[in-house]
Every structure is written in structure tokens, then in C-alpha cells.
Structure 1
Amino acid sequence: MQQYFSQEPKKRRIFVLYGLGGSGKTQVALKFLESIDDFTKRFFVNASSPEALKTSFMNIGISQSFGKTSEAGLEWLISENKEWTLLFDNADDPKLKLSSFFPQCTHGNIIITSRNPQLAAYGPASHSHVGDLDEENAALLLLARAVKEHTDQNHKLAMDIVQELSCLPLAIVQAGAYIAKFKCLVNYLSIYRQNKEELLRQHPDQAHDNYDWTVYTTWQISFQKLSPVAAYLLQLCALLHHSNIPQSIFANATQWILNNEGDETESMREARKFLQNFVSRSGSWSKQYFRNIVAEIEEYSLIQSQEASDTLDMHPLVHLWCSSTLPDEVTTRACMTNVVGMTIDIGPDAYLERIRMIAHVNMLVPDFTVVNSQFWSQYAWMYYEGGKFEHAKGLYELNLQRQREMLGKQHPATLIAMANLAATYRHLGRYREAEPLEISVLKQRQKLLGEDHPDTLRAMANLAGTYRQLGRYREAEPLEISVLKRRQKFLGEDHPDTLRAMANLAATYRHLGRYKEAEPLEISVLKQRQKLLGEDHPDTLRAMANLAGTYTQLGRYRETEPLEISVLERRQKLLGDDHPDTLIAMANLAATYMQLGRYQEAELLEISVLERRQKFLGEDHPDTLRAMANLAATHMQLGRYQEAQLLEISVLEWRQKFLGEDHPDTLRAMANLAVTYMQLGRYQEAELLEISVLERHQKFLGEDHPDTLRAMANLAGTYGQLGRYQEAEVLQLSVLEQRQKLLGEDHPDTLISMANLAMTLYSTGRYQEVENLQLKVVAKRRDVLGPDHPLTLQATKDLKATQDALAKAKV
């Protein structure tokens, strides 16, 4: 403003300040007028109505002894060829023709404050949107109004408060007045969270200016001027998340009502009645009708449309005010639930559109039981993709029951419902409940559709996936090979379903420890998905993550890290920080940091993953338990064994309860706890656990499975600690031979086996054999991991100790 008004004196200058009620437009204008001395006369004009304008100009005429009418005031301004200033304040009425009250002359200065952004047209190059304060200035304003010193502690408290208030100036001023009155800076945030509506309606006893409206009343006055359709649209939007509301919701829903007739619930009739406002005379969606209603709300800055993204935004406090003042929340929410249900496309091409709707669905439908039965499948799919599997399960169970009753057990729609419920059970870790559903789906599809039908192959792949989760990899492998061959034959090498089959088979190979067979499959999948789907598609990112996982198993961590960082960054951008796929990417990167010896970086990621999974999935979800186990492993590496033990006992108990004693994840928890017992010197407790783990792995996975070999190595380590070196050596030789055969000489697990055997031989004084083994370990770790990796450094240290022992023995 100072820059603009310093240019071209003696000419008419107009500057427009527009923004949400309570954003401080008038205060900005008054502050500017205080800061400048060039204006000879300054007049405050109430622009809220024609009557108020006429009164203001009449007062100008009287004050300048020029007459007692509004015309006299205008005439004086025309005749006064000096730098006078008019402040047209609160020019909010969109029907008001403000220009008819401008003095008809080429000199003078005009400042306009308004909630209506369209008034920016009066100053095409001289207007400014007055939004929220930045956090630092908002905190300073709060402390000033609260009459509090600017100490470090007070500043931190103030920052937390202004963030909660979204930095809206009027809300901050009101909060400051309340704090000053009740001396409650420390406790204000908790008081506010329990009494938001009451506090935002309060007017300070000692206001800092003559602004008479509270935060809520300033918006209520604007709201009352909206047409019924505009008011209802604003209320419906207030039930969604406050930002990035797709305008396409209303377009798609309107198209739905034009294509669907039938018996309707009251809430469906309510939705149809509202959406009819956007139907053109020709009987189709009218974007112009909708734009007109949005523009009406924008005239009061209660909503903002984003042209580039075709979305709507509400200020967080406007959103809170509007959602908390609904006259009939139950009916309005039911109406909007139906509107959104009409827009959900469960087709594969609409994935990103559904992802963008997840935050809105979570806000709109806190309880899945309120969903209209017409939209059970749509909302279940949304919850499923959003990681809200419990909600999805409830709707899928209802949907399956209805399909069985209406269509019978063999109908394709019933089989789809059964498959969807089984997939949800898998995500909840309830694999044993998923298995019979999937066997039933597969048998029915083989019978009705034949072996080669895409739906049959999908059922086969799903069952194989469940076998994989149950640790029954040998049952999964032939199913997946069959699926892949049939898809290659009928769909071709590049079809998404073929690539998915290839990825599934690679995953099974990874679980079977056949990493070199998995790698070429995964490279092929990634290249094809990058080519066909692009770098950011979820399937491309999943392929990248899978390849990174295989590189990890092959000990190629430097190839792993850049892939995992890329996956994490892209998922955070596309899905948000809380999405299950984002958290998987974060956990994978943490695991790589662990392998690279960067334990503190790993710990920070793992704590974040655990907290988010506990919040969104619950304490007993398989993914939460996996996050807990990962954090415990990092605590172990950092030497914090007691913290690790508490986490691992909890993980083991939950897995025994929900997965059973023989599940691979249960056995992994048991093995992890045994390792912690080892570190705590509780060797006999560790031995009992490890014997149990080894026997179960040998029974269910076979002698040469990676998990079996890991269990054997752990038991050998415990025998070594107990001084039972001969028993340890027998086991370690077996582990080393199997790993050399299955993984190769350079694999990290092979080198660990070699180092463990060397340690046992060292304890029996066989230093020459030890040196030979350790020389190999050091050389290979330098090549594979680098000279600075903790494992390389430890191997070098062990070799030095052996060589010192050899020298002493020779002496």
C-alpha cells in the first residue's frame, strides 16, 4: 500500500483489501493511514449499506461546512483538489454498486475493505488479499493482547495456540483477551479444545478497538445473506475435509441422479432435491449453475475456489464454525454421505480420484453403519484403499450377506463380495478366515468360468497370496506359476495382470530364499510398469519397493537406499504421511538404514511408523506389531535391551493370540525375544525359545528355508554362550553350507555364518582355521558393504584379535 500510494500524486488512486471476516482488513487500512503523513483529510465511510454510505457522506458535508446532505459531502470532495482519503469499510454487500458513491473527479485516494474478492476489479493492479498472519507475528499479537512477556516458554505456548487458531487475527485477539482476563496462557489450549464454540462466540470485555463482532458472529452475518442453495452447499462442504474439496463431487452426483431412478430413502430424496439445482433446462449437469452458487459464497470469502485444481477450500475455523452450527446435522450428513457415495467410481482407472477422497470420507462418515445400502460397496472400497480395514470389513460382511440372500451363493456378484471380504481379512491378518472364502471362490469360478478365465486366475492368485501369508510358500508357488503362464499366454507379457502375477511369484521366491530367481522377474516388472504406467503410479512404486527388498536380501544396500527414498517421497506426496503404503515405505527405508548401521536414523523412522499405525490401525494389527518388532530390533542394536524386551514380549503375546503358535510371524517374534534374552545373559530362557522355533520351522518350512537356517544359527549362538562349542559348531557348519549353496559366497547371511563359525572355533583355540575364515569375511564385507560399515569394522577387529592370539601362541 505504501509503495502504491507513493506513486503519481494528484491522480485518483484506489486500493482494495479483501478477505475473510476477522482477517484484519480494517486494521491493516487503519495501520496504513497511521503510517503516512501525505494525506490532508481522512474520512471513514461505513460502506455496509446504501443508507450507511449516504449518512457517512452527509457527515463529511457537515464537518466541512459544505451542506447537510450526502450530495454536499461528495461535492466538497470534488472541489477539494488535495490528497484527501476515503476509507470505504465493510463494503461486503455484492448487490451494492459502490462506484456510484465515488466522487466524480480525477484526484483523491480511496481504500476499500471487503469480504468480496470481486471488488478487486476496482483496483486491477492495486489490491491485496488479507489472509492469516504468519505464525511468528500471530504469536507476537497473542502475547501482546494477553499482556504477557515475550519469554521462550510463553512464545512456545503462543505458537501452539495460534496454530490451533489457524492464525486468524480476530480469533487471536479474542484468545489474547480471554488469557489476559483469566491468566491462563499455560492452560488455554486445553480450555479452548473443550469449549471451542463458546470461546469463539465470546466478545472481550475490554476490546482493543470498536470491532463489535465475535469470530462466529462475523461469519454468521455473512451466512444469513446467502441464498438457501448456497447456504446448503456451504454446510455440505463443511462435513468434508476443509481443503481440496473436488468440485467434481457435485458434477458426478448430479449425473448419477439423472441416470438412476427408484425407491429412495428420505436422505436420498434430500440429495436429489439439492442436486436438481444444478440440472440445466436440457436435463444435464450445468457447470455454470454450480459456478454461480460457488461465486455467491465466494463473495463473502466463506469459500475459495482453486482454478488450477478445480477444488474448493474453506478456512479451518470457518469449517469448524459451519460444521458446528448445522441446524440438523444428522439429515445434512446423511445427504452428503449419499452425494459422495454417488461419485465413488470403483473402477481401476479412478484410483487416484478415490485416494484424493479418503480424507473427505474419513471426515464425513465416522461410523460405517450410517452408509446407505446402495453405496456399501463404494464406501467399503474407499475404506479398503485408505487402510481402514475394520470399516471395510463391516461393510463387506453386510454386502456379502445381502448378495447371498438376493442372488444366491454362486452368483458372480456374490463371489466378488466374498473375494473382497477375504482380501480385507488378509489385511487384518485374519488369514485363516480368508482361506475358506478364497477356496470357495476359486472352486466356483473354475466350475462356472473355466480354468483360463481372468476371474478364475484372480481367485487363484488371491489364494496363493493367503498361503504366502500363512507361511505355506510351497503351496503358493505352483498356483502362482500356473497363473503367470496362463496370463502370459492369453494377455501377453505387458498386461498389468501378467506383471502382477510375475511380482507375486517373485515375492514367493523371496520368501523361499530364492533371491536370484526373484530379481530378474522384479526388474522386468519395474521396467514395464515405468513404461506403461509412469513413475508415480502405485503399481510402479510397489514394483520399485519389491526390487529394493530383493536387493536388501542380496546384501546390495547401496542399490536399495535410493529406490526406497524415491518410493517414500512419491508416496508421501501422492498418498499422505498416514497411508499404509507410505508407512510401509518408511519402514523399508528404516530397515535399510539398520543394515547400513545408521541406527539412529532408523529409530526416528520406526517411532513415527509405530505411532501412526497404533493410531490408525490399533495395537493388535499385524502392521502395528511389525512396526513394534522393528523398533525393538533397533533398540537392540543401540544396546537398549530392556526397552527391546518389553516390546518383544508384547509382540509375541499378540501374535500367539491372533495368528497361532506356528505362524511365521509368531516364530519370528519368539526368535527376536530369544536374541534379547541372549543379550541380557538369560541363555537358558533363550535356548528353550530357540529350540521351539527351530523345530517348528523345520516342520513347516523345511530344512533349507532361510528362516530355518536363521533359527539354527540363533540356537548355535546360544550354545556358544553356554560353552557348548561342539553342539554350536555342528549347527554352524550346517548353516554355512546351506547358505553358501542357496545364497552364494558373498551374501551377508553367508558371511554372518562364516563369522559365527569363526567365533566358535576361536573359543576352542583353533586360531589358524579362524584366521582363514575371517580373512574371507573381511575381504568380502569390504567389497559388498564398504570399509566403513559397522560389520566390516567388527570383522576387521575380530581378525586383528585372532592374529594377535596366533602371534602369542607361536611365542
Structure 2
Amino acid sequence: MIDLKPAGQLFVLACAAIISYLWLRYKHIRSVPAGTVHNAPREADASETSPRHTSANRPPLEILYHGPTDAAEGPVEVDIVAVHGLGSNVDWSWTWQDKSGRRPPVHWLKDLEMLPAVVPNARIMVYSYESRWHANAPKTRLHLCGKDFIDALHNFRNDVPGRPIIFIGHSLGGLVIQYALLLADKDEKFKYLPKNVVGFIALGCPFKGTKMQSIPDIIARFMVLANSHQGIIRDLVYGSDTLRDQLDALCQLINTLSIPTCCFFELYATDYGIRFGCPGYIKGMVCLLRGIATELANPAIQVVREESACIDGWPKKPVQTDHLKMNKYSGPEDRSFRSVSAVIKDMYAGARDVLGHRNATTQNCYFVVPFGRNENFVGRKSILQQLLGRIPPSANQYDCQRTAIEGLGGIGKTQIALEVAYQVRDKHPDCSVFWVPAVDATSFENAHRDIGRQLGVKGIEDDKADVKMLVKAALGHKSAGSWLMIVDNTDDIKLVTSLSEYLPSNRKGSVLFTTRDHSVVSSLDISPKGLINIGEMSREESFEMLKKYVKQESRWHDMKSTTELLDLLADLPLAIRQASAYMFQNGIPTTKYLRYCQSSDKDMVKLLSEDFQDRGRYDASKNPVAMTWLISFEHISQSRPLAAQYLRFICFLAEKDIPISLLPPGRSELEIDKAIGTLKGYAFIMERNEPDSFDIHRLVRLVMRNWLQTNGEWQEWVTKVSQRLTDKYPFPKHENRAIWVRYLPHVLQLRNECADKETGLLFNVAESYSQLGKYNEAEQMYRQTLELRERVLGRKHPDTLTNMNNLAAVLDRQGKYEEAEKMDRQTLELRERVLGKEHPSTLGSMNNLASVLNKQGKYEEAEKMHRQTLELREQVLGKEHPDTLRSKANLDICLQAKTDKGL
């Protein structure tokens, strides 16, 4: 075993590449007599092609056999197009050579006794592209080859655009055909081309890549110093994600159009060294690089293995040869030719039937959708991909799929479903699409009547007919073909329950629902895999949407204002649509619209309530964001009263991290869970990582607060929320810090709306600020609370006196000693009068006053008061009481301060 370090491997590889290049050129000079013209195709080095053979000097498509020359033989009925593989040349790729020289070359695509004899009424042509892996191919990509191929076909066949096509691809040529078909299917200009394909023959095509990919890559780097990193060679890495995705898309297209296919795979290994007259040489060089000397004894390599060349569900046939010879046949009796040509003959014979069935299927499909395609639709690519992989009936041949798009009103569910409807129509022309609004029972029935008319259902016009049941029966029959039904706005759980028996079911059918209510998903028995939750758009998507609707760059070019506006609108599609419509209609920029929104909540709600025209919604007069959510609120109020109460309650709290423990109690834990689940189901509130808390959507909160004011419920709910927070908010201590710190943002949100009698809550908040070291905020809150308590409770009330004491303490902590002293004296005087001189609270005030006197340097008075406090605490509380010991320590501090000052 040879063990080489990386540097040594690179050196050996370079030397081997140089030797190989010199050896090949030597072989070439020795084998070609002077003056020889390269005009005969032969199995030689791919680089041995004269200038006239290069793809740059010839048209992309060339006819090898024009079809019948005699009118009596009939017209040309099919085009057969062959595409060669990697490292090949269109002149010799399809040609068999007799190495002994006794027999002439055989070109099976054009020699009259070969394929033209099998399909005489076909026009046979070849496509030429640069595939030399050691020259220009590393600079070419499959995507570019596919694009060039489809352009060439379109231009070449413009006089016979509807003529059937059979493709033959050898090796990489099959992938070029694959890319061309997929590109054409996505482009309206070329979409007709895949619909005319009646056959696809793959000769050793590496649909899943090849493990031989690294060999030409290595040699190409050193022989021509080419960078193949982005080229065809790199496109062939075995098992790559790109090849897998492309293959999935091709299979879907093949299945949709029912294109006949056949995969041929090689049975023998290939020795690439034979092509250069040095059997085993290339394999030996690669093995040397890898340090595996034992592999030199087995120089043959299987280029495209069966698992890569054959696709599940497609017919497959073996070829009794290797990869280099599976597209070269010696004559009419060649067993490989007979096998391949038989398949071509069958595809040729069945071309009319395939197209007839395809056209009949397409003609019997219906597209009953009330809205046009939204040309301004942006983003949501991952969601669309997920839906398109699930909802086409062909995605599950064993069951009628049920899928639901769930999300907040205005999040874009209907627009996503609409885009999906058009994409299914384009990608699956054999699939009918029906749109059924479930806004109410009438719209549901009317949509079914329209569907019944399209299907020609008997009795559909009868006034007494059960329209919904008739349509269900029609779509349940196998003659209905493939269909997708989109049931939009399934938000009313009672309505959905009553109509669910009319939902059709057929293994060739699929039903897609859009809903705001998660309970609808459960009632329709939709599996978790079938549920797709929709959130706000990404910032890039939001910005792109705003630009599309506002149109003029001058109105959104201020990126700071535009970003702030999108923040305010929470990247909600309907809100962005409404804002952009207002800006477009009134000719204002984002800066001014943002200023309107920020001026007051009332103005913000007014803007969210503005009507605007949108053809993609059912009622142009009810488009506003506010109206959309209030409809959902009405549904909740009827089905889940406690959930509606909770929504009223939480709109007074902060938006983030709302603990469930703050909510009013329900009759049972089950009822509470259902209420919270309902709000989550409508996406009014969003789950957090913590199981006991949630967030409320910013705009939902704003609209709900406005609704309470408009309907006269504001003060009632302010009082209820204040009382609940007063009951739940504890007096702040170190041991309960986790609780009050979490509750504090919600109390602060309610601060300016608290009723006067809820002074206990404000007092606790003031103390919370003090505990957090926010003394300025604590002072302001204590002063506000003191003013309220003096007015409501009176100056001598114990709670008022406690408030004065704590305010003095906060002033002390801020260094406002004179104000603190004044407040402490007032508190002490009132406590002595109300509580008595020996009351613990009075003694606490004496201690506080002594301490603030000490801080101001009034040591004599401070000492005297500390001694009085100590003496009284010893008498009242005892010498070992913590407060007594604290007084003793304070007296020592005072005495030490006097000593330090020399007093």
C-alpha cells in the first residue's frame, strides 16, 4: 500500500497528468499519418475533433434523416431528437466503428437500414452542445445547456409546434433533456413543448449522479488547468441535493403528462483507458493518487450504476455492453439496437393515442376560481413548496388528502391558496380546481351549484335539489378525474360542522382548507402533517410587497421610516396592503403615513379601518384589517365566551410574556385551556417557549382596545383588570422576586388607567422600582400614590403613613437628605400621634430620621435619637430582636462618625 501525504499526492498527480498528456499526444501523432483529414467519425480521443466539428461552428440542431421523400409514404409524424453525453461529439457519439477496418462505420440514427427503417415517418435529428470535460465543458452548466436546448427546439420547430417528440438521451444528454423539460414547463412561452413529448429514452443517464465524477474533474484540472468547480462535471456528484430535487420535479412532470419512458442501463464495466489506447491507465493513475495500489489489477469502472440510471416506476431494460458502447450499434441485428429501437417503435406507434388521451384529460378539467391571479403576490416560497408537494391528488394515490392553512386573519391565507390554485393548474393540467367560500351557508351552496353546472350534473338546476350532495356524488365518482377543492374561510366551527358531511372524498381528489380557528382543523380530522401554520411575512417579503403596491420609489426610499412602518404593521400582509393602498391613493410617502400611525392609537385604528379595493377578497367594502379581526372576535364570542373575556382582559396588558396565572379564573382548568387554545387557534395570541405564558399580536391588541371604547366596555374592563392585578401582584421581596418581576411590565402597561382605589397596586409597583434600584421611578410612583392616599384615605391613615415613610427612604437613597429629613419628621410626628410613641412603626420612623440626620453630619441630634430608639426597642421588642440590634449598630456608626470628626 502506498501512503502519500497531501503534498506528495498533488505532486504525483501533477506528474501523472503531464505524462498522460504527453503520452496521448504521442499516440495521436503516431496514429495519424501526415496530411490525414479528420473527416471520418471514429472511437478516438474526444479532443481529436477538427474545428468544423466543434459545437461553436455548427447549428445546435441538425437533421440526420428528413423522413419520407415520397408523398405516397405519408407525412412526417414524429420528431426524434437525440442528445449525446459527456465528453462526446455529435459526429462520432452515435457511430459504431469496426477497429479492424473491414466494415464501414454505422450511424444508427441516420443509416437507412437502421432507425429510419424502424420508424420511416419520423424526422430524426441531433442536438449538439459543448460537453468536452477536458476543454470547455467545465465552464458550462446543465441549466445553460437545458435553456439553449429548449430555445433551439422552439425556434427549429416553429412551423410544426404541435408535432409529437421522442427524446433519446445518452448519459449526460438525458440530464440536458431533463433540464430542458423542467425549464419549459415553468415558462408560458415554452409550456407547449413538454405537452407534445410522447417518449423519453434514457441510455445510461446519471439521474442520481455518478461516482466516476471525480476522475474527469481531476484530469481536467491538470491537463487544461480548467476550473470545473461550477461546471458540468461538478453537476454530476453522486447523490447531490440538486440532482435529487431535479429528478423529483421530472418525475412529477412525467406522471402529470403520462409521458412514456424507458431506462436502459449498462451491464458491463467501462475501461476509459481503452479510448486512449492505454487500457487501465486512467484507473491506475487515480488509484495511485489514492494510495490503493491493489486496485490496479481491476482497471474497469461501472460509470452509471443501475440505481442511478433507473427510476422507480419507469420501465427499465439492461444493455449487454458498457457505458461507451450502449449508444453505438453495429447493425440491424445488434441485440442492443433491437432492444432500443423496439421501444422507440412502440413510442412512435402510440404517439397519437398519448396526445389524444392527454388532450382529452386536459379538456375535461375545470378551473372554477372566482378571483384572478394576484400578479403582486410575493414570497412564501417555502410554504408554497410544502403545499405543492402535498395537495396535488397525485401526491397520494391511496387517499383523499386533507390539508389546512391556519393563521391570523389578514395573514395571507386566501392569497396563498389562490396562488396555489394557479400553480396546480399550471403544473397539473389534468387536475380540476374548484374554489368554495365557506363565509356562510349560502356562499357554500352557491359555489357548489357553479361547480355542478361546470360538471354538467343532472338535476343541479332543480330548486328542490340537494346541490351539495349532488356535487359530492359527482366528485366521488372515478369519472371526475383528478381534482382539488379549496374551501376558503372555514372559520365558523358551527357552520363547518354542519357542512362537513358534504365534503367530497375520492382517491383522485384533495381538499385544502383555510381557517383562523384551530378547532376547525380538529373537527375536520386533519392530521398534524396536513396542518400548515402561517406567520407574518419576512422583512424582505414585506418590503417587496410594499414596493409592488406603492409603486413609486420616492414614497418608500426613506428606509428608516419604511422599516419603522413595517415594524408597526408587524409584517402583516393585509395591513401592508391596506397601508400601501392608502399611500398610493393619497400620494403620501411612508414617512407621513408613519407619522399618522404614531400620533395616537385612535389614528392608527382609523387607518386600519380604512376601506380599500382588493379583487382578491369577497367583499370590497369589508377589507379593513380591523373588520377582519372583529369578525373573528364575533365567532369567538358565540362559541367560547371565556376566550372572548380573556381577549378583552389581555388587551390591557403588555404584548409579551403574559402569564396564564394573571388571567381571571374559569370554572375549571379544562375550560381555561379551551379558551386559551381558541385564542391561539385564531392566532390572536402566540405561544412562547415557556408553557405558561403567551404573547398577543400588537395590532390585535390595538383593535380590541378600540372596540372596547366604541362599545362602552372600557371602564368596566379597566376596573376588572386593576382588581385582578391588585390581587395577584405581591408586595415585592427578595424571595418572591421571580413573580413580581414577571408581573411588573403588565402592571406598568395599566398604570395610567388604574382607578384611584387601586393605590395598593401602585404602592407595590413603587416598592418594586426601589428594589430594582430605579429610585427616580420609585419616587415618582410613591408621590403619585401618596397623593391618592391622602385624598382617599386621609393623611393619618396607616397606609398613608407607610407611603410617607417609604418615600422618605427613597429620597434618602438618592442623597436628597433634606427632603428625606423633612418627610421623616412629618411621618414620625403623625405616627406618634396616631399609633403611639412605642409602636414598632413609630420606632422605625425614629430610626430612619436618626440615620438621615447622621448622613447630614448632625451627629448630636442623631446620637440622641438613636439612643431613644434603642432604649424603646429594648423595652418593647427585647434586647435580642433584630430591630433592636439594628438600632445598636446604627448608634455605633454614629459614635464612630463623631470620633472620626474629632467631636
* TM-score, normalised by the number of residues in structure 2: 0.45
Cα gap change, 1:382/1:57 in structure 2, threshold over 3 Å: closer, same or farther?
same
For 2:692, the aligned partner's letter is: D
Q: What is aligned with 1:10?
A: 397
Cα gap change, 1:15/1:378 in structure 2, threshold over 3 Å: closer, same or farther?
same
CA displacement at 1:125 relative to structure 2: 1.4
Cα gap change, 1:129/1:488 in structure 2, threshold over 3 Å: closer, same or farther?
farther
Candidates 703, 707, 719, aligned match of 1:325: 707
Candidates 376, 391, 395, aligned match of 2:785: 395
Q: Structure 1: how far apart are the matches of 2:888 and 2:542?
A: 55
Cα gap change, 1:396/1:38 in structure 2, threshold over 3 Å: closer, same or farther?
same
Q: Structure 1: how far apart are the matches of 2:531 and 2:888?
A: 58
CA displacement at 1:343 relative to structure 2: 2.2
| Unpaired runs of at least 5, structure 1 | 255-277, 281-285, 513-699, 705-811
Q: Structure 1: how far apart are the matches of 2:859 and 2:533?
A: 62
Cα gap change, 1:64/1:394 in structure 2, threshold over 3 Å: closer, same or farther?
same
Q: What is aligned with 1:802?
A: none
1:44 corresponds to 2:432: no
Q: Tell me the percent identity.
A: 24
For 2:779, the aligned partner's letter is: F
Structure having the larger proportion of residues in helix: 1
| Unpaired runs of at least 5, structure 2 | 1-382, 461-466, 770-776
Candidates 473, 486, 500, aligned match of 1:75: 473
For 2:532, the aligned partner's letter is: S
1:377 corresponds to 2:760: yes
For 1:204, the aligned partner's letter is: F
CA displacement at 1:460 relative to structure 2: 6.7
Candidates 285, 302, 309, aligned match of 2:684: 302
Q: What is aligned with 2:487?
A: 88
Q: What is aligned with 2:607?
A: 199
Q: Structure 2: how far apart are the matches of 1:79 and 1:47?
A: 23
The question of whether the paired residues in 2 share the 8 Å contact of 1:397 and 1:421 is answered with no
1:338 corresponds to 2:723: yes
CA displacement at 1:335 relative to structure 2: 3.1
The question of whether the paired residues in 1 share the 8 Å contact of 2:779 and 2:807 is answered with no
CA displacement at 1:305 relative to structure 2: 5.5
Cα gap change, 1:233/1:4 in structure 2, threshold over 3 Å: closer, same or farther?
closer
1:246 corresponds to 2:659: yes
Q: Structure 2: how far apart are the matches of 1:320 and 1:500?
A: 53
Q: What is aligned with 2:456?
A: 65
For 1:10, the aligned partner's letter is: Q
Candidates 415, 422, 446, aligned match of 1:55: 446
1:106 corresponds to 2:504: no
Q: What is aligned with 1:145?
A: 549
Q: What is aligned with 2:313?
A: none
> Secondary structure at 1:141's aligned position in 2?
helix
The question of whether the paired residues in 2 share the 8 Å contact of 1:88 and 1:113 is answered with yes
The question of whether the paired residues in 2 share the 8 Å contact of 1:246 and 1:311 is answered with yes
Larger radius of gyration: 2
Q: What is aligned with 2:219?
A: none
For 1:416, the aligned partner's letter is: T
The question of whether the paired residues in 1 share the 8 Å contact of 2:732 and 2:740 is answered with no
The question of whether the paired residues in 2 share the 8 Å contact of 1:418 and 1:437 is answered with yes
> Secondary structure at 1:180's aligned position in 2?
helix
Q: Structure 1: how far apart are the matches of 2:568 and 2:681?
A: 26
Q: Structure 2: how far apart are the matches of 1:292 and 1:458?
A: 50
Corresponding pairs, count: 473
> Secondary structure at 1:243's aligned position in 2?
coil
> Secondary structure at 2:611's aligned position in 1?
coil
Cα gap change, 1:300/1:460 in structure 2, threshold over 3 Å: closer, same or farther?
same
Candidates 221, 234, 238, aligned match of 2:631: 221
Q: Structure 1: how far apart are the matches of 2:704 and 2:888?
A: 49
Candidates 794, 808, 815, aligned match of 1:422: 808
> Secondary structure at 1:16's aligned position in 2?
strand
Q: What is aligned with 2:577?
A: 173
Alignment of 1:263-662 (within 5 A): 278=666, 280=667, 286-304=668-686, 308-326=690-708, 327-328=711-712, 329-346=714-731, 348=733, 349-366=735-752, 370-372=755-757, 375-386=758-769, 387-399=777-789, 416-426=802-812, 430-438=816-824, 462-463=848-849, 466=852, 470=856, 490=880
1:187 corresponds to 2:578: no
The question of whether the paired residues in 2 share the 8 Å contact of 1:431 and 1:466 is answered with yes
> Secondary structure at 2:553's aligned position in 1?
coil
The question of whether the paired residues in 2 share the 8 Å contact of 1:238 and 1:323 is answered with yes
Q: Structure 2: how far apart are the matches of 1:16 and 1:701?
A: 82
> Secondary structure at 1:43's aligned position in 2?
strand
The question of whether the paired residues in 1 share the 8 Å contact of 2:556 and 2:562 is answered with no
Q: What is aligned with 2:418?
A: 30
CA displacement at 1:321 relative to structure 2: 0.8
> Secondary structure at 1:379's aligned position in 2?
helix
CA RMSD of aligned residues (A): 4.5
CA displacement at 1:354 relative to structure 2: 2.4
For 1:337, the aligned partner's letter is: S
Q: Structure 2: how far apart are the matches of 1:47 and 1:345?
A: 48
CA displacement at 1:435 relative to structure 2: 1.9
> Secondary structure at 1:125's aligned position in 2?
helix
> Secondary structure at 1:366's aligned position in 2?
helix
Alignment of 1:727-806 (within 5 A): none
Q: Structure 1: how far apart are the matches of 2:509 and 2:894?
A: 80
CA displacement at 1:418 relative to structure 2: 3.6
Q: What is aligned with 1:772?
A: none
> Secondary structure at 1:193's aligned position in 2?
helix
Q: CA offsets per residue over residues 655-674 of structure 1, 9 Å max, x none?
A: xxxxxxxxxxxxxxxxxxxx
Q: Structure 2: how far apart are the matches of 1:500 and 1:243?
A: 45
Q: Structure 1: how far apart are the matches of 2:881 and 2:691?
A: 36
Q: CA offsets per residue over residues 18-50 of structure 1, 9 Å max, x none?
A: 111111011112223333413611111112234
Cα gap change, 1:506/1:379 in structure 2, threshold over 3 Å: closer, same or farther?
farther
Q: Structure 2: how far apart are the matches of 1:65 and 1:466?
A: 95
The question of whether the paired residues in 1 share the 8 Å contact of 2:457 and 2:470 is answered with yes
The question of whether the paired residues in 2 share the 8 Å contact of 1:143 and 1:150 is answered with no
CA displacement at 1:400 relative to structure 2: 5.8
CA displacement at 1:320 relative to structure 2: 0.8
The question of whether the paired residues in 2 share the 8 Å contact of 1:384 and 1:424 is answered with no
Deviates more, 1:164-173 or 1:376-385: 376-385
1:21 corresponds to 2:409: yes
Q: What is aligned with 1:763?
A: none
Q: What is aligned with 2:535?
A: 131
> Secondary structure at 2:511's aligned position in 1?
strand
Q: What is aligned with 2:195?
A: none
Q: Structure 2: how far apart are the matches of 1:467 and 1:371?
A: 34
The question of whether the paired residues in 2 share the 8 Å contact of 1:38 and 1:83 is answered with no
Q: Structure 1: how far apart are the matches of 2:528 and 2:809?
A: 57
Cα gap change, 1:58/1:465 in structure 2, threshold over 3 Å: closer, same or farther?
farther
CA displacement at 1:150 relative to structure 2: 8.7
CA displacement at 1:146 relative to structure 2: 0.5
The question of whether the paired residues in 2 share the 8 Å contact of 1:243 and 1:314 is answered with yes
> Secondary structure at 1:112's aligned position in 2?
strand
Q: Which has the higher contact order (CA 8 A, sep 6+)?
A: 2
Q: Structure 1: how far apart are the matches of 2:787 and 2:452?
A: 76
Q: Structure 2: how far apart are the matches of 1:473 and 1:116?
A: 71
The question of whether the paired residues in 1 share the 8 Å contact of 2:835 and 2:842 is answered with no
